[in-house]
Amino acid sequence: MKKLIKKLMAAAMVTVISTSMLAGCSGKKAEDASTPAKTEEVTKAAENSVDISKEETLKIFIPGDRPAAFDKVIAEAEARMKDTVNVKLDVVFVPWSDLQTKVTQTLNSGEKCDIIFDAPWNGMNTNVSTGYYEPMEDLLAKYGQNILKTTPNEMFEANKFAGKIYGIPLGVLQKPAGAYLVRKDIREALGLPEIKSYQELEKMMYAVKEKYPDMIPFLPQNTAGNDRSAAMMRLYFENPNQIERTEAFGTSHVLYFKNNDGKVYNLFEEMDSDIWSYIENARKLYNDGIIYRDMLAVADIATEAKKGNVAISVKGDIGVDAATQTALKSVNPNYEFETVDFYSTNPGAYTSDFKQWNFVCIPKVSKNKERAMMFLDWVRTDQANYDLLAYGFKGETFNTPDEDSYSFIGTDYTWFPYAWIWNPTQDRVSSDLNEKDKATYQYFSDASNFIPSKLLGFTFNAEKVTNEIAQFNSIEAKYYPLIINGVTDPQQEWDKFKAEASDVVKTIQTEYQAQIDTFLAQ
């Protein structure tokens, strides 16, 4: 409870600070009547307007696999909600591989669906413009007070679609964070001190190559994460021009922002010198046999790293999770992972657009929109409610080694709050994180540490350039991963890439810039 109060206060402070920052920034948004924070008075009056005497069933679609203890968890949740929300939960787990098919077919047929997971990488923008989702401002104001309290206002502001809230952002980190996954035992065996810079990391790669010829010195991300490729990974840490990718093409930097100036840049026209030097460095690593030769054929780099023959790999979050560490130790108990990052933890060191990756939405066809929102709100009224859905039963499926961390017991429950309830206030840190990682994690979870991007609240509407984006996606897939991992000669491949893609990219860039200009003019 103490923890909750502490967190709520922190959240309230963040809201106040950031709202004033926003006001200073764009001068207009705080006045917007639809801003959730402003509608508090309305809420109290409307609180009891929903008749909860009749029990309703909420149908919820989320990705993943049903954990063994889920039935018990749901039964407990339903019992706890009996007097306040009075709903039964019918949760449908959709296989990750078929998420898009299932989401679009369900929404399209108009059948019963009260809460559904969606994400921009899953086609959410198309689903919003097709008209599947209910705008949430009113529902949030009336029934979602705890949601507003537990999610920083920036997250709502930043994750609007066409100016409206169509989904509750699910996330904790206020900016995508990453790290190198390093074999600690090997670093120590090589007699190297803790790694503090990229140069030291590179030194280790070469040392591994020399002393452990059977090991893979470096395995960067291959599929579905171009921003963690050998070259682009470095932008996480060494990014003097504050380069950020646009949201036009998933994880590609071909269209990018820099220095928070509200302009869209195009790598074909203005190759950033840092990026190019990173690419050339990647090529050198590849030629020297540092980057794994068959890296593009590896199905899953995490699995490969767990086999114990990868010295350095990459990761899209902070710290080493228990599962990865345990898997590695099952190969040999002396093996150990550590993560290496080069983040500064000074407030204001980075800008952020506070974009989140995952959302939970309420479809237009739902007949229980109020109850759906009340359920999502109920989760956030009490840390115990969140803990139940996120971790299961204390002492049975999870433990809390200290106030704000967790560790799972056994495999009866798995971690998937990112699919429906994740928020920075109630989230617990995995107890496996070391002190350094924990500090980084907490730094990234706190919105007030980041300078809001000039484009905060802007969302690109891709509708006019859908064809171009589809074309670009397939062209990019042919060249980009090869270039940014040093697999082929960068200059030659880049020229081919440019020749084929620069026209469509130009069209998209122009459209993107036009939308930004309209947004900034408001």
CB-nearer residue toward other proteins: 10 or 475? 475
Q: Which is nearer to other proteins, 47 or 495 (CB)?
A: 495
Q: Which is nearer to other proteins, 84 or 466 (CB)?
A: 466
CA distance 113 to 489: 50
Strand positions, DSSP E, 149-305: 168-170, 179-183, 216-219, 244-245, 255-257, 265-266
Rounded Cα distance, 311 and 340, in Å: 12
CB of 363 to other proteins, least distance (A): 10
Query: Least distance to other proteins from the beta carbon of 273, Å?
Result: 24
In the complex, what is the shortest distance from the CB of residue 232 to other proteins, in angstroms, rounded to a whole number?
A: 11
CB 381, min distance to other proteins, A = 26
Q: Give the contacts of 483 (CB within 8 A, at least 6 positions apart).
A: 231, 279, 490, 493, 494, 497
Give the HSE-up count for residue 229: Cα atoms under 13 Å, Cβ half-sphere: 28
Task: Please report which residue ranges of 84-172 form alpha helices under DSSP H.
Answer: 99-109, 124-130, 137-143, 145-150, 153-158
Give the residue with the Cβ less far from other proteins, 26 or 252: 252
Residue 41 CB, nearest distance to other proteins (Å)? 33
Joined together, the tokens standing for residue 218 give 């470096």
**Residue 67's closest CA among 488, 412, 467?**
412
Which residue, chain included where needed, has tokens 């950031």? 18
Shortest distance, position 302 Cβ to other proteins, whole Å? 6
Output 396 or 412, the one with its CB closest to other proteins.
412
Cα–Cα distance between 105 and 102 in angstroms, integer? 5
Question: Is 508 in contact with 460 (CB distance < 8 Å)?
Answer: no
| Nearest CB to other proteins, comparing residues 142 and 175 | 175
CA angle 18, 157, 522 (to 5 degrees): 100
Task: Give least dist CB 508 to other proteins, A.
Answer: 13
CB of 441 to other proteins, least distance (A): 13
387/468 with CB nearer other proteins:
468
- Spatial neighbors of 313 by CB under 8 A, at least 6 apart, are 180, 181, 218, 219, 220, 301, 302, 304, 305
By C-beta, is 143 or 480 nearer to other proteins?
480
Give the 3-state secondary structure percentages of the chain, helix then strand then coil, rounded to 5.
50, 15, 40
